[in-house]
Structure 1
């Protein structure tokens, strides 16, 4: 049996909204929603945080909830993933980011099962290259073999900061791709938290619409029914890699 681990990268020093992952909504930090929803996948979850003292609150968060975590270089996030894979002897990794508090754990779990059925260490499976889900539901699944190749060969600072470009740009020439898609396309919606406007949308969804208990399709249907919510952060541009 292959050992699967979901690894969520987190830090407190985000540039547009510092400390965002611990901002409270309805009495709980955003990171609590993120981790609880991912645990619904049925697979182990790990946090990959930085060694900086500014991230001590994230270590405290993990320890208080008995969540495994590793600490490493702030900019070389790829090395944090490699460290986590090595420390916990993972064969398959799922990359997510902690600024997605409403990521659907069951969707991730079903996608992991699909990846495992393929039984191909050269497979990269995700819903991000051919985007049909809202931002905020992003995940990438790949083998430790592909991760270690990237860790060994990726030299660009952007490769190491963003973890997977070496893999999904197929620099080795041997990666096979599979995409998780949905219809209709709702990639224009934004359920990640990078700005104050993003946070306000998530706050309203959780506090006024019970979003923490909703699956991906239910959340998307809710946004379809409430264009005024979509408008809260429709103007926000995703930071470029």
Structure 2
């Protein structure tokens, strides 16, 4: 079974434009993100748009040796479907590029669990019920099911948010499996990049605490010991689907 990671990236983010191209510790957040994903040993594909604003994403990804698939900005489901076909994937790990500190071991655990079953209708995630910090999220599913969603989904939200056709079980036969964090509940922490305050936290973690080399448990421990870090972005509300 050929499983690959597809990460979606674009420069036209609304709350923090070109956020993945901002830098911390001498690298863009996109480069940090791709470095972490590469540590899984899985193929990594960057799914971006055909917009000219996304040329820097294409250039950075290509320079680092990661293939890029370009498609619709709003119909992200079709973008993923195109990447799946181009690379002949049997299984897909979906992540988003605003997670520069995603833990490769966390992703690998999910992939191992998916491989152990490998059912065509299985959907594995660690955020159906949140226990991990935001920024560690992944979803894993069969390529066949995503291609079926691409063929059948008509709701704009399903086209934009890629996997809602699967995890909302619109076909009625999906098996949903949530893998919680064995370290307890760290869902109060935001290690994702969406606002300037998120950027301040992530930059501090990378430049002052060596976060680029740390795993999820290490990062949670730092956040627990330094409430002033949590205070940097604890007020940020996650954007709802459709916003």
What is the TM-score with the length of structure 1 in the denominator? 0.98
Q: Deviations over 1:43-87 (max 9, x none)?
A: 110000000111011111112112111000000000010000000
> After the TM superposition, which parts of structure 1 deviate over 4 Å for at least 4 consecutive aligned residues?
none
RMSD: 0.7
**1:31-70 alignment to 2 at 5 Å?**
31-70=30-69
| 1:111 CA drift (Å) | 1.4
Is 1:8 aligned to residue 35 of structure 2?
A: no
**1:1-241 alignment to 2 at 5 Å?**
2-182=1-181, 183-241=183-241
Is residue 41–residue 107 contact of structure 1 (8 Å, CA) maintained in 2? Answer: no
Is residue 92–residue 142 contact of structure 1 (8 Å, CA) maintained in 2? Answer: yes
| 1:110 CA drift (Å) | 2.1
User: How far, CA to CA, are the matches of 1:222 and 1:46 in structure 2?
Assistant: 31
Is residue 38–residue 106 contact of structure 1 (8 Å, CA) maintained in 2? Answer: no
| 1:91 CA drift (Å) | 0.3
SS at match of 1:90: coil
Unaligned runs of 5+ in 2: none
User: How far, CA to CA, are the matches of 1:60 and 1:90 in structure 2?
Assistant: 23
SS at match of 1:172: coil
Is residue 77–residue 160 contact of structure 1 (8 Å, CA) maintained in 2? Answer: yes
User: How far, CA to CA, are the matches of 1:34 and 1:207 in structure 2?
Assistant: 15
| 1:169 CA drift (Å) | 0.3
User: How far, CA to CA, are the matches of 1:65 and 1:142 in structure 2?
Assistant: 26
What is the TM-score with the length of structure 2 in the denominator? 0.97
User: How far, CA to CA, are the matches of 1:35 and 1:94 in structure 2?
Assistant: 14
Q: Deviations over 1:137-194 (max 9, x none)?
A: 0000000111012111111111111101110000101100111102411111101000
User: How far, CA to CA, are the matches of 1:128 and 1:232 in structure 2?
Assistant: 23
SS at match of 2:234: coil
Q: Deviations over 1:12-45 (max 9, x none)?
A: 0000000100101111100111000111111110
Q: Deviations over 1:215-238 (max 9, x none)?
A: 111111111111110010000000
SS at match of 1:48: strand
User: How far, CA to CA, are the matches of 1:77 and 1:119 in structure 2?
Assistant: 24
User: How far, CA to CA, are the matches of 1:128 and 1:57 in structure 2?
Assistant: 30
SS at match of 1:142: strand
